[in-house]
Amino acid sequence: MGRLFGTDGVRGLAVSELTTEVAMLIGRAAAYSLGRDGKRCKKLLIGRDTRESCGILEAALAAGVCSCGTDAHILGIVPTPAVAALTVMYGADAGVMISASHNTFEFNGIKLFNSKGHRLTLSQEQEIERLVFDAQDQMLPRGVPQIGRVYTEKNAEWDYIRKLLKDSEANLDKLRIIIDAANGAAYSSAEKLFSCLGARVRLINASPDGRNINMHCGSTDVLALRQAVLETKAQAGIALDGDGDRCLMIDEAGNLLDGDRLLAILALHMKKRGRLSSNTCVVTPMTNLGFFPWARENGIVVTKTPDVGGGHVFERMVQDGYNLGGEQSGFIIQRDYSTTGDGLLLGAAVLDIMQSRKCLLSELAQVFRPYPQITVNVPLRAECRGIWKDVPDIIGIIEHCRSSLGDDGRIYVRESGTEPVLRIMAEGRNGEAVRGCAEAIARIAEKILGNTTR
């Protein structure tokens, strides 16, 4: 049996790796295995982002779903958290989002949610993989064909927006903000939500053409947003990613607030109001070292997952009953309102805190002082995956850098679960030493793995 799932669902080059045949089989397997009480699904939702490959993959998924006797309900272009929320609101057995999140247009992916709007468990993912690779005939109905129907949910976007309005209760009256929609799934819903909350909204990168999703925009490249905030003297900027499940922010002075800062702002606000479960938030190994002493000083307990990924964060939150957790990327789960990261909900929450405190976003950003941190991505060919861990020169330079940083820093090297790259993160009190370590490891890795560009 092969592996389909990575850290954030199924992902690959659209049509050539994530083929229509695979999409159809995943749709059939999801319909067959994700129903309540071990039965087939009766109703399954499908949402998508703005990539040009989404249409053909949506058709393939719907065909697979219907071939199993399940009705496919098409949501259209909506953010990933909308699929999770609407799966519950519409009483569906499962939900599927077609998106490769922050990746460029040539990639696509499939994310699945159960009837509670939760990401699939490992055992559920393994069952879908078993069905796709080893038991395709098992999924087909016996006897008289049972064919599901395809329905279009015309009110899906507004149903999601109305839920956010109810959950956030933010008052952003006359707040001047700029939203970079990354030419992605939230390009329409973002402006509608924040306008309804009272903000004066200017939208940039909100003209998707199928290929410009995440292209020099959104949370992966905040340069355009920073420039727009400074030029228009806006009070804040919100940078979304391609599927709208993460958010970064720019303050009025053009400074970036990453997920660590946003998580700290929320955690402190919730603790002061007695709303932070067990006074605890969940983080990952990528969380800045400066977060931990800040949390101790403010009476906030931090629990760290063993690996990166929103799935690990949510699993720990459910397991121990916590209601706040997230990643440096801006994927933050507010479990009182959502079962996954939601960039729109996060942006509204932070701006509401800013408004209630009558302060600038730059003042909120001073919540803690992060250590200097550098991340370098080294392209990684498929045949090179995994071998770097056994190369003495690579391991040697990693250990040398760890020794040189000592207790004042750290090195974290891993293969990305969403992109074909080796991520090299160095962090510590000394910014120059941190940069030197990250670049030294990258040079050795590129040379040995046969890559020449970064």
The single residue of 67, 99, 101, 329 carrying the catalytic annotation is 101
- The Cα-based distances of 282 to 263, 287, 307, 363, 418 in angstroms read 10, 10, 12, 24, 21
Q: Residues with Cβ < 8 Å from 451, sequence gap 6 or more?
A: 378, 379, 380, 381, 445
User: What whole-number distance in Å separates Cα of residue 168 and Cα of residue 350?
Assistant: 10
Report the distance separating Cα 264 and Cα 108, nearest Å. Answer: 32
Whole-angstrom Cα distance, residue 324 to residue 7? 20
Q: Measured between alpha carbons, how far is 61 from 71 in angstroms, rounded to an integer?
A: 11
Q: Are strands 280-283 and 301-304 parallel, antiparallel or unpaired?
A: parallel
Residues in the chain: 454
Q: Is the dihedral of CA 135, 140, 142, 143 positive or negative?
A: negative
Q: Is 374 exposed, middle or buried (0-12, 13-18, 19+ CB in 10 A)?
A: middle
The residue written with tokens 């405190």 in the block is 357
SS3 271: helix
Q: Say whether 101 is catalytic.
A: yes
Q: Which helix (H) or strand (E) holds 36?
A: none
- 45 DSSP 8-state letter: E
Cα–Cα distance for residue pair 354/334, rounded to 1 Å: 18
State both tokens at 305: 């997952």
Give burial (CB, 10 Å; 0-12/13-18/19+) of 326.
buried
Strands 332-334 and 71-77: unpaired
Counting Cα atoms < 13 Å in the Cβ hemisphere of 125 gives 18
Residue-by-residue DSSP string for 153-191: -TTHHHHHHHHHHHHH----TT-EEEEE-TTSTTTTHHH
Active site residues: 101
